[in-house]
A and B are shown apart, each in its own frame.
Chain A
Amino acid sequence: MPPAEAYGVASFYALINLQSPCRRTVHVCDDIACRTRGADAICNDLEEQFGAEGVRREDSATAWHRSPCLGLCERGTAVFCETAGSEPVTIADAASQNLVHLLLHPEIPVPRRAESTFPGEQLGTSLPLLSRAAMPPTPGIDAYRFAGGYLALRRALQIGPEGVLAELTASRLTGRGGAGFPTWMKWKAVAEAVGNPRYVVCNGDESEPGTFKDRILMELDPFAVIEAMTIAGFATSAEHGFIYIRAEYPEAAEAIELAIKQSRSHGMLGSDILNHDLNFDIEVRRGAGAYICGEETALLNSIEGKRGEPRTKPPFPVQHGLFGRPTVINSVETLLNVLPILMYGGDTFAESARGGVTGSRLFCLSGCVSMPGIYEAQPGATLRELIDRAGGTPDNTPIHSVLVGGAAGSFVRGDEMDIELTPEGARSAGISIGSGVIMVFDETIDMANIVKRIARFFRDESCGQCVPCRVGTVRVEELIERFFKPGADRDAEIALFNDLALAMKDASICGLGQTATIAIASTFSRLRMNSATIT
């Protein structure tokens, strides 16, 4: 690759350091969920006791940065820590750690963070998605097999690729990554494509603020991800799979790498899997700090070693995907659903149908709840039920608002708890479920602080390709900053915002620019933030 292009690629990613190398870099999540758990105080502390963000301190050769959501929201404030010469680690509950000390003494190793756990009520129950992950962790392929692993793949081999597609079609499974596209349509399109190679890609980039379910699945149930991808390969005649895992998930990547290695040595990846004419192998690709790489076509470009700029669709990945070849791309959670579909049948899976969706979903509860974490729920559960399962707000402080669907989702008011969390329930409430984020803000939270952070998030994560998003996100950030100043002409700012939002929604290339204004718009329309409510 020519050097200018290589520089262009490297400078696209937040975690590729182009300045003088640091012995240790600490990335502190100051995104919205962690802001409800003391992130601001931690950052202020670092500023006072260590130095300004992003400035390398010469005595220790270390630096710290504020970071967008690290996908550890249930155990925030989250930190991602890179140390020269060793693997990066994440730190949960950073408020209880001495980050200044870690920064001043890069020679001190950072201990591995404890495994993810589950909110207790789900342990030992037979949940379609979480049952294996919720068992006390016994790593390894034998434990996976013992827990029912490979039953789905064996069934797939019995019924053949057409049988798998028929089960998937009957199940009416839809994508869990945000768009809700029918999974069987993608698989069928690639299965019917001509020529080889073709690819199966698992989207493990999970960077939507407030989302952490795919991380937990990859960390605690890695063999299931591999089995599901193998089934996708079998159904679509693809022999190559890629799992794209964001850089901020070192523990998940390690679990997946280990599981791949073990699967290979046990003949569960490679050629003639289970003595059938099935060849499939998986490579891990790591992100490098870019939310946009979760967008499927940006992700494909990133795997190809390019800047993570989304492509214009059409053509779609099923026609023109990785390296221009037909490609199935699904999120981790979507893929995991394939296992119960094959084990118990697509029709059984579809029995749960309600509100335009089949099968259970994982919801990521964070913010002001007593037991944050992932909760599996059947279609039809309401917002209230999930928040109740998570223990409600600490001290039963009244709920001010809930962000549903992540930074690209919508805020709803504390009195809208009866919304049914299905596509139809969400649609009739004028919101979308997106990646399953349920982030609760009680009345102690400074919402202006939260809204400003959302505006900054999109500005910093825009890939910069198209004008409406590249410049629009900047104008939105400035507008929100002005909006909360005393004496602002708030009605004029809202009118300007609406103009911007319409153009960004209509003319941006990809979902980032198209959805960047939705959450903020909902604070005006639903939370009624305006001249009358802000002083």
Chain B
Amino acid sequence: MTNPISLHGGATLTINGFPVTVSQGSTILDALNAASVETPRLCFLEGLTPVNACRLCVVELEGARTLVPACSRRAEQGMVVLTDSVRVKHARKLVLELLLSSVDLSLLTADIARWIEFYGADLERFGKKAARAETNHDACRAGSHEALKPGEIGSVATPVKIDNDLFVRDYSKCILCYRCVEACGADAQNTFAIAVAGRGFEARISTEFVIPLNESACVFCGNCIGVCPTGALMPKSEFDMREVGNWCEEKQAVTRTVCPYCGVGCNLELTVQDDRIVKASSPRDHDITNGNLCIKGRFGWEYVNSTPERRGSGEKE
């Protein structure tokens, strides 16, 4: 039995054989961070309420029947935690393989790519993924699903939703980490324009009755884009450039500045390619904005690209 309270109010855990002490209210993840043990994670993001959904961060806890999620499990005095046991590695590998088998992870981050390599996740372990679907999951009744197609394995492929000029939603890339829903809801924006709908493998992020975003409560703050780990949510500017093959990260530089619109002083990170702004985001480590912006800061930079001196020679004549 572990004792939830130690004498000094914090907790001392044993992590892979070494003692680590963390303050009261910390999670196992905090302890792992303190011990400099890297923990792969997809749904957890500093500043958002943990939803424990991806299960990539699981660790082995002595005395527990199953593995436990490091991101949300409170650290308790005397816990004995393993992060590199056979069970942990197996579960993490399978979680990655299950995602790779069903989701388009072509835009994954360098971190995710590294974890895939580290855990030896096999991309086609379960067979060939279905090609991009023409049907969509939005109409699926809970508790039922389309018949299996012989030789194909089910995927979340669905047409890209392009229903406004500011950002697109490609739920073929969605791992259902719930981050966008939290950012749109009580954790940041308090707009509640999107939610998880449906059930099981047919669960998806949706507006009410799948209405277009511009008819929904959405205020186009783009904070959902800021937290999406897979590129499922993407500014239209970036999406359009990628579509025609113009998006070129080697040619890009990121400049930190302050949003010019109001007095709050939100930090902006402007991605610039070929002397033009191609995307605006906000650093999550900034204590005013925590990665959040409003529609003006996130999308209101197009005018910079179209001032007369920027419009190119045709305009100057």
* B207/A312 in contact, CB under 8 A: no
1/0 per residue, CB under 8 A from B, across A261-301: the answer is 00000000000000000000000000001100000000000
* B176/A65 in contact, CB under 8 A: no
Contacts of B206 in A (CB 8 A): 4, 7-8, 11
Number of A-B contacts (CB under 8 A): 174
Q: Which residue of B is nearest A463, CB measured?
A: B199
Whether, in the assembled complex, A95 has its beta carbon less than 8 Å from a beta carbon of chain B, the answer is no
With both chains docked as a complex, state the minimum distance between the C-beta of A308 and any C-beta of chain B, in angstroms: 9
Of the candidate stretches A99-107, A365-373, A385-393, A472-480, the one touching chain B is A472-480
Q: Which residue of B is nearest A485, CB measured?
A: B150
The CA-CA distance from A339 to B237 in the complex, in Å, is 68
The CA-CA distance from A342 to B55 in the complex, in Å, is 44
Q: Which of A19, A464, A508, A514 has the most CB of B within 10 A?
A: A464
Whether, in the assembled complex, B192 has its beta carbon less than 8 Å from a beta carbon of chain A, the answer is yes
Whether, in the assembled complex, A132 has its beta carbon less than 8 Å from a beta carbon of chain B, the answer is no
Contacts of A499 in B (CB 8 A): 90, 94
Whether, in the assembled complex, B142 has its beta carbon less than 8 Å from a beta carbon of chain A, the answer is yes
Q: Which residue of B is nearest A1, CB measured?
A: B192
Contacts of B94 in A (CB 8 A): 468, 472, 499-500, 502-503, 507
Whether, in the assembled complex, B157 has its beta carbon less than 8 Å from a beta carbon of chain A, the answer is no
Q: Which residue of A is nearest B69, CB measured?
A: A312
* B99/A471 in contact, CB under 8 A: yes
Whether, in the assembled complex, B170 has its beta carbon less than 8 Å from a beta carbon of chain A, the answer is no
Whether, in the assembled complex, B112 has its beta carbon less than 8 Å from a beta carbon of chain A, the answer is no
* B98/A466 in contact, CB under 8 A: no
* A3/B199 in contact, CB under 8 A: no
Query: How many residues of chain A get a CB closer than 8 Å to chain B's CBs?
Result: 54
Choice from A290, A496, A509 contacting B143 with Cβ under 8 Å = A290
Contacts of A65 in B (CB 8 A): 141, 144
* A7/B141 in contact, CB under 8 A: no
1/0 per residue, CB under 8 A from B, across A175-194: the answer is 00000000000000000000
Whether, in the assembled complex, B230 has its beta carbon less than 8 Å from a beta carbon of chain A, the answer is no
The CA-CA distance from A153 to B197 in the complex, in Å, is 44
Choice from B52, B175, B195, B203 contacting A7 with Cβ under 8 Å = B195
Within 8 A of B (CB), among A1-25: 2-8, 11-14, 16, 18-19
Q: Which residue of A is nearest B42, CB measured?
A: A467
Contacts of A462 in B (CB 8 A): 199-201
The CA-CA distance from A459 to B203 in the complex, in Å, is 12
Within 8 A of B (CB), among A166-214: none
Within 8 A of A (CB), among B112-158: 125-127, 139, 141-145, 148, 153-154
Whether, in the assembled complex, B272 has its beta carbon less than 8 Å from a beta carbon of chain A, the answer is no
Whether, in the assembled complex, A453 has its beta carbon less than 8 Å from a beta carbon of chain B, the answer is no
Q: Which residue of A is nearest B216, CB measured?
A: A4
* B217/A465 in contact, CB under 8 A: no
Contacts of B217 in A (CB 8 A): 2-4
* B142/A506 in contact, CB under 8 A: no
With both chains docked as a complex, state the minimum distance between the C-beta of B129 and any C-beta of chain A, in angstroms: 12
1/0 per residue, CB under 8 A from A, across B163-197: the answer is 00000000000011000000000000000111111
Whether, in the assembled complex, B238 has its beta carbon less than 8 Å from a beta carbon of chain A, the answer is no
Known: A505-B66, A509-B55. A14 touches B202 (CB 8 A): no
The CA-CA distance from A11 to B209 in the complex, in Å, is 9
Whether, in the assembled complex, A239 has its beta carbon less than 8 Å from a beta carbon of chain B, the answer is no
Choice from B67, B192, B200, B207 contacting A464 with Cβ under 8 Å = B200
Contacts of A219 in B (CB 8 A): none
The CA-CA distance from A496 to B93 in the complex, in Å, is 13
* B95/A68 in contact, CB under 8 A: no
Whether, in the assembled complex, B198 has its beta carbon less than 8 Å from a beta carbon of chain A, the answer is yes
Contacts of B141 in A (CB 8 A): 14, 18-19, 54, 65
Contacts of B143 in A (CB 8 A): 14, 68, 289-290, 460-461
* A477/B148 in contact, CB under 8 A: yes
Contacts of B54 in A (CB 8 A): 466-467
* B148/A54 in contact, CB under 8 A: no
* B175/A467 in contact, CB under 8 A: yes
Q: Which residue of A is nearest B139, CB measured?
A: A19
Contacts of B216 in A (CB 8 A): 3-4
Contacts of B202 in A (CB 8 A): 464
Contacts of A460 in B (CB 8 A): 143-145, 200
Within 8 A of B (CB), among A438-488: 459-468, 470-475, 477-479, 481
Contacts of A289 in B (CB 8 A): 142-143
* A5/B58 in contact, CB under 8 A: no
The CA-CA distance from A464 to B196 in the complex, in Å, is 10
Whether, in the assembled complex, A307 has its beta carbon less than 8 Å from a beta carbon of chain B, the answer is yes
Within 8 A of B (CB), among A495-522: 496, 499-500, 502-503, 505-509, 514
The CA-CA distance from A179 to B254 in the complex, in Å, is 54
Q: Which residue of A is nearest B55, CB measured?
A: A507
* B148/A8 in contact, CB under 8 A: no
With both chains docked as a complex, state the minimum distance between the C-beta of B37 and any C-beta of chain A, in angstroms: 18
Whether, in the assembled complex, B87 has its beta carbon less than 8 Å from a beta carbon of chain A, the answer is yes
The CA-CA distance from A309 to B160 in the complex, in Å, is 27
Contacts of A477 in B (CB 8 A): 148
Contacts of B24 in A (CB 8 A): none
* B90/A471 in contact, CB under 8 A: no
Contacts of A496 in B (CB 8 A): 125-126
Contacts of B90 in A (CB 8 A): 499, 502-503, 506
* B209/A18 in contact, CB under 8 A: yes
The CA-CA distance from A18 to B207 in the complex, in Å, is 14
What residues make up the interface of B, taking CB atoms closer than 8 Å to A? 51-56, 58, 66-67, 69, 72-74, 87, 90-91, 93-95, 98-99, 101-102, 125-127, 139, 141-145, 148, 153-154, 175-176, 192-203, 206-209, 216-217
Other A-B contacts than A16-B142, A478-B148, 7 sampled, CB-CB below 8 A, are A8-B197, A65-B144, A289-B142, A465-B53, A467-B56, A507-B94, A509-B55
Residue contacts A-B, CB under 8 angstroms, 26 given: A2-B195, A4-B192, A6-B208, A7-B206, A7-B208, A7-B209, A11-B142, A19-B141, A65-B141, A68-B143, A312-B52, A463-B199, A463-B203, A464-B203, A466-B54, A470-B176, A471-B99, A471-B201, A472-B98, A473-B200, A474-B201, A478-B126, A503-B98, A505-B66, A506-B87, A507-B91
Q: What are the 3 tightest A-B residue pairs by CB atom distance, in nearest-first order?
A: A464-B203, A8-B195, A503-B94
